[in-house]
Amino acid sequence: MTRLDRNFRIVLWASLFAIALSILVIVGWTFNIAVFKTIVPGYVSMKVNTALCFLLTASTLILYIKNKWTFLALFLASLLTLTGLSSLLQDILNLNLGIDQLFIQDLDAISKGEKSPGRPSPMTAICFFIFGLILIAFRSNQLWIKYVRQFSLHLITLIAFIAVLGYLFNVPSFYKLPFFTSMAIHTSITFLVLSATVSLINTDLGVTSLFYGRMIGNHVVRKLFAKILAAVLILGYIQLISQRVGLVSVEFGIALFTTSFVLVVLYVLWSTSKELNRIDIKREQAELKLVSTNKNLERMVAERTKYLTKQNNQLEDFAHIVSHNLRGPISNLKSLLSFYNQEESNQEQNILIEKFKITVTNLESTFNELLEVVSIRHESKKEKEELAFEKVIKKLMQTYQGQIMETKAKVTYNFSAAKLIKYSSVYLESIMQNLLSNAIKYRSPERDPIIHFETRKVGDAIWLTVNDNGLGINMKRNRKRLFGLHKTFHKHPEAKGVGLFITKAQVEAMGGEISAESQENIGTTFTIKF
């Protein structure tokens, strides 16, 4: 439900209240029930014409809100305007148009010898006349008409408020406001309710906009007005009562009222200032949070950009590798096929067939290696499980126990700093296997291999280091291509340059990093941040 729909509903309930009260008054006049006519015993009664005009006003509002029978609504609004104007002209021109007791005689006023029995007060007639004009222009969307309509409603609210105030303070006739006090209390309240609620239809205009906005200024107005209004009414009432019973003189009462009002305003300003300070603190905190969020977002964008740039570079490298690694075997197959077609000797053809088989086998091996790399890049969401480093290394040592015995390798480990990790079991075993097999494969012929695995924890991250005393790598020359596909650094018959490339791909596929430090003839240290 929108704000306008909620305000329409408020106007609807106010209109139903006016209709119920009007019917109650008409019943009171019909069956001579005094309490229905005055609501408060001893107060001025609401006239029959006043009740009928409230029925016209409320019915017109309901028709406009429900968007039904617009012509009927316009007719009722015109009738309301004409009735209010006619009643007012009777007072101004001292006429009797015969409308005051058209339906029911005002026997109460007749018995008291009043001059115009059944006639609403002049201020009541003015309010109905203004309300009628407002309802006639209710559907207009012209801005100046909306402004006039809104401030006309405020005028009715002010008149009704002064009348209600007169009843609350019991202002006597020598206060020069008899035309206000002659308006019935329930007439005043109904005008106050209807005019205030109808002004909610245009909350962006007039005085209503001060109270209904969402800006800090509107918040201040709501807080200050409610407190100051309450303070003025209470202090004014106390001053009036004090003067009436003779506790204070008029001069002292005014001085006391002024002093009390200043103190109340100071308190209101103090409490409002505290609340505004709280709002300001929240705003500053929100701004700091926004700045922090922006910085985090910038950092995430930078990291993502860096990652995508890296992935793009790797993709370009991979495309180059595929192109390079497949072009050679395919070209070789074409050449062999050409020689085969030209060769007439069966013996030579058989030799070419054997060469053909070797090339196809190598091509298949290269293709399988490339498929493995592709599968790694597309399996970054491998299911994770809790794994023990010691269990994995023991399994690998059993797998390679023949080579360990043959090379007299000494494999040690220390996983006390981080014993467990949530990781892909396939990847962790493959990573540790590649590092172990490389350390054995590229051992130094001058000494028995010593290989050590160790974990450590930095914050929430787990690190694994693998040290060996093997041949080592010239990092100055090979650092940038260390983890490249088919990059080899030793003249070893089994060196293919695939193991480290796959290891790096697996580590990065799980969001980690791998690096290496090495010295020739001293050894190599691989470091993995999981």
Q: How many Å is the maximal CA-CA distance in the chain? A: 147
Triad 138, 221, 11: Cα angle to 5°: 30
pLDDT digits (tens, 9 = 90+) for 189-239: 999 999 999 999 988 888 888 887 777 777 777 777 777 788 777 877 787
pLDDT digits (tens, 9 = 90+) for 385-428: 888 999 888 887 876 776 787 788 899 999 999 989 888 877 78
pLDDT digits (tens, 9 = 90+) for 416-451: 999 898 888 777 888 888 888 888 888 888 899 999
Nearest to 55, CA basis, from 84, 31, 23: 23
Given pLDDT bands bounded at 50, 70 and 90, which one contains residue 268?
confident
Distance from C-alpha of 414 to C-alpha of 517, rounded to nearest angstrom? 20
- Can you give the pLDDT at residue 408? 87
Instruction: Find out whether 322 and 292 touch, Cβ atoms under 8 Å.
Output: no
- The structure tokens listed for 78 are 């015109």
Mean pLDDT of the chain: 81
- Can you give the pLDDT at residue 17? 95
H or E element: which one contains 61? Answer: helix 48-66
- Can you give the pLDDT at residue 381? 45
* Lowest mean pLDDT, pick from 83-97, 121-135, 507-521: 507-521
Amino acid of residue 163: A
* Lowest mean pLDDT, pick from 46-60, 350-364, 479-493: 479-493
5: exposed, middle or buried (C-beta count within 10 Å: 0-12, 13-18, 19+)? exposed
- Can you give the pLDDT at residue 174? 34
pLDDT digits (tens, 9 = 90+) for 460-509: 889 999 999 988 877 777 777 666 655 555 555 554 556 677 788 778 87
Average of pLDDT values for 69-90?
93
DSSP label at 520? T
Instruction: Find out whether 422 and 384 touch, Cβ atoms under 8 Å.
Output: yes
- On the question of pLDDT at 14 being above 90, the answer is yes
DSSP label at 245? T
- CATH 3.30.565.10 location in the chain: 380-529
Beta pairing class for 513-519 and 523-529: antiparallel
Coil, strand, or helix at residue 418? coil
Pick from 123-132, 316-325, 480-489 the range whose average pLDDT is largest: 123-132
Nearest to 160, CA basis, from 119, 197, 210, 118: 197
pTM over 0.75: no
Coil, strand, or helix at residue 60? helix
Residues 6+ apart with CB under 8 A from 372: 502
In DSSP notation, 284-315 reads HHHHHHHHHHHHHHHHHHHHHHHHHHHHHHHH
- Can you give the pLDDT at residue 500? 77
Beta pairing class for 410-414 and 450-458: parallel
Given pLDDT bands bounded at 50, 70 and 90, which one contains residue 371?
low
- The structure tokens listed for 109 are 């006023």
Distance from C-alpha of 200 to C-alpha of 6, rounded to nearest angstrom? 10
- Can you give the pLDDT at residue 181? 47
- On the question of pLDDT at 242 being above 90, the answer is no
- On the question of pLDDT at 125 being above 80, the answer is yes
Given pLDDT bands bounded at 50, 70 and 90, which one contains residue 77?
very high
Instruction: Find out whether 21 and 57 touch, Cβ atoms under 8 Å.
Output: no
- Can you give the pLDDT at residue 177? 45
- Can you give the pLDDT at residue 326? 58
Distance from C-alpha of 326 to C-alpha of 369, rounded to nearest angstrom? 12
Average of pLDDT values for 65-73?
89
Distance from C-alpha of 221 to C-alpha of 226, rounded to nearest angstrom? 8
Given pLDDT bands bounded at 50, 70 and 90, which one contains residue 142?
very high
* Lowest mean pLDDT, pick from 33-37, 263-267, 355-359, 461-465: 355-359
| 380-529: CATH, from 3.30.450.20, 3.50.50.60, 3.40.50.720, 3.30.565.10 | 3.30.565.10
- Can you give the pLDDT at residue 155? 94
Query: Which segments of 401-458 does DSSP mark as H helices, in order?
Result: 401-407, 425-441
- The structure tokens listed for 242 are 């004090």
Average of pLDDT values for 139-146?
90
218: exposed, middle or buried (C-beta count within 10 Å: 0-12, 13-18, 19+)? middle
Phi first, then psi: what are they for 184, rounded to 5°? -60, 150
- On the question of pLDDT at 82 being above 50, the answer is yes
Share of the chain above pLDDT 90, in %: 24
Distance from C-alpha of 46 to C-alpha of 25, rounded to nearest angstrom? 7
Instruction: Find out whether 22 and 51 touch, Cβ atoms under 8 Å.
Output: yes
- Can you give the pLDDT at residue 275? 75
Beta strands in 415-521 (DSSP E): 420-423, 450-458, 461-468, 513-519
